[in-house]
Structure 1
């Protein structure tokens, strides 16, 4: 994870990854088959740690957006994972990048979850009907991803959770419910 996060996919070598893991290159390839397979495994591990915080069922309506603010707060304690995500998501837009499909699918899924939560929030009367859930979902994702880059460059200057909450409440025109 650290090697991909600091060097990017193309500059990370299997030799360095194997050395950091206390394995041979053949040992790494025994478990992952290829460098691209290892990258996918690292990204899946990152997602599993985030999914585990949701519990049995995803929060509904604005409670899901509160969960995103809490995720931003947790991310401030996980620099390696944040760096990995920021580097690889940006790098994945290059032609033939092995994580391109992963990030395309991830953004599609995250947008879908946000659209669903914002639609629920509208149905529950938590937000005004005039808010476009698709546009709002894209804006929230853009804010969160942009804040991660700013935080990586100047952690003392950026409070990801507070700014995420500020952006969401400004976008929706009302405060989020308090955390449980």
Structure 2
């Protein structure tokens, strides 16, 4: 029995199956999800052949130290930005053995939002070693902390799967 909703379990199982067949590995760089993406993947039997590592980088300092996010990027654009997500995914890919990496940074709430960056705003990036790069800016809305986090997991898993053919 999975810790995650059935749709997330199915997405993760599809990734593990697909990546196993293609001998690909994945890495995650997570802020607002706190490791849930890696958790969803590792909830699937056989995931050890697919999941290389996960970086939980909740603080700006962790993003810099573990993923190489530049301080000037964090100052100029903020932790919740396209620019930060892109640097996070680049860092995760090149600090791992993964073929594909995904990164997420956002505001799950209930606090922390602003008019410019409301609760429910999440930036996601996925990158493959072949150079394919995706970015999604999601505005899930103030739907509750857990709902924002699970919606982010769903989107991230979808992005990973979309790069499985790269």
Interval containing the TM-score (normalised by the shorter chain)? 0.3 to 0.5
TM-score using structure 1 length: 0.31
Which structure has more relative contact order (CA 8 Å, sep 6+)? It is: 1
Please say which structure displays the higher CA radius of gyration. Answer: 1
